[in-house]
Amino acid sequence: MIVITGASGQLGRLVIEELLNRLPAAQIVAAVRDPAKAADLAARGVQVRAADYTKPETLDAAFKGADKLLLISSSEVGQRVAQHRNVIDAAKRAGVGVVAYTSILRADTSPLGLAAEHRETEALLKASGLPHVLLRNSWYTENYLASVPPALAHGVFIGSAGEGKISSAARADYAAAAAAVLVAPNQAGKVYELAGDEAYTLAELAAEITRQSGKTVVYQNLSEADFAAALQGVGLPAPLAVMLADSDIGASKGGLFSADHQLSHLIGRPTTPLGKLLKATLV
Ligand SMILES: NC(=O)c1ccc[n+]([C@@H]2O[C@H](COP(=O)([O-])OP(=O)(O)OC[C@H]3O[C@@H](n4cnc5c(N)ncnc54)[C@H](OP(=O)(O)O)[C@@H]3O)[C@@H](O)[C@H]2O)c1
């Protein structure tokens, strides 16, 4: 039995779809904060169990009988270490055979501020003694594509990533990798550094938006403070704006670049090209 946390989220849903192609639905558990959100999965035979990272008693029930567990990192940035600790403790109590965790690219050396909670979670996993495998994911291409509509409206794509190359991949690529690891034997102890086959700077992304849309979009590189202020100016909450600006600075230092193609090797196909995802965004 394979349990997926965060299964109502965007990555979690894609992992469940991948697993449904490989396993009987009854062997898959969608562990979700709100089971009503996963009623469609229950209707397809997936076991849906309540699991809130902040409520350890729900985690004990959700992980019962789990051979493998995918801990999808929480979206509640700043709360994640305590939440993940609850998950790891419950996995230990349940005697889970192997835990896979969605971390960040080169978490141990990453310049991104976001990496701190992942480093701490990796340390908790190590200290727990649980067999575990790290899925260190680079950026989702979808993160940057969310900025395409405002870039088209203003003719400017803003960021702080400078000349940093970004090896992003689609959520679906990372989901395929997670599913491949979950169904494979002997994964304990492995560390996968997962990133897209293609790397681009934000200026190259702006050029691709221009090419596909026919509307000129130029990249404007801002200081970290100016980018964070601009993001707040369009309504993003301050912590999110600061986190995104810091992540771009991390990207400018190469924190989201990788040329080793581990992701495409793992999933047995090339990662989804930026141009393909952009095309779908522009439709
Ligand atoms: N690599 C990247 O570029 C990148 C980008 C964004 C995020 N991430 C990380 O990757 C994770 C998965 O990405 P995603 O796109 O699937 O994010 P998402 O769609 O926001 O999904 C996050 C999931 O976490 C669940 N969650 C949050 N707090 C929880 C709690 N207290 N107890 C149980 N579940 C909780 C959410 O449950 P609900 O459905 O109930 O809200 C949701 O299912 C994110 O959570 C974040 O840690 C990575």
Residue nearest to atom 44 of ligand 1 (CA): 75
CA dihedral 29, 31, 32, 35 (to 10 degrees): 50
Q: What is the pLDDT of residues 23-40, one digit of tens each?
A: 999 999 999 999 999 999
Query: 143 with 168: CB under 8 angstroms?
Result: yes
Which domains, ranges and CATH numbers included, belong to the chain?
2-137 (3.40.50.720), 138-169+194-258+269-283 (3.90.25.10)
Give the residue whose CA is nearest to atom 28 of ligand 1.
74
pLDDT confidence band for 112 (50 / 70 / 90):
very high
- Ligand 1 atom nearest to CA at 73: 47
Q: 195-221 pLDDT, tens per residue?
A: 999 999 999 999 999 999 999 999 999
CA 175 vs. chain centroid, Å, equals 9
Q: If you average pLDDT over residues 6-34, what whole number do you get?
A: 98
Tell me the CA–centroid distance for residue 73 and ligand 1, in Å: 6
Pocket, ligand 1, Cβ cutoff 6 A: 6, 8-12, 33-34, 37, 51-54, 72-76, 83, 102, 137, 139-140, 143, 171
Region 51-69: mean pLDDT is: 98
The H-or-E segment that residue 149 falls in is: helix 148-154
The answer to whether 135 and 99 have CB atoms below 8 angstroms apart is no
Concatenate the DSSP letters of all residues of 3-21 into one string: EEETTTSHHHHHHHHHHHT
- The residue behind tokens 């801002």 is 222
Distance 72 CA to ligand 1 centre (A): 7
Quote the pLDDT of residue 182: 98
Beta strands in the chain (DSSP E): 2-5, 28-32, 47-50, 68-71, 98-104, 132-137, 156-159, 191-194, 218-221
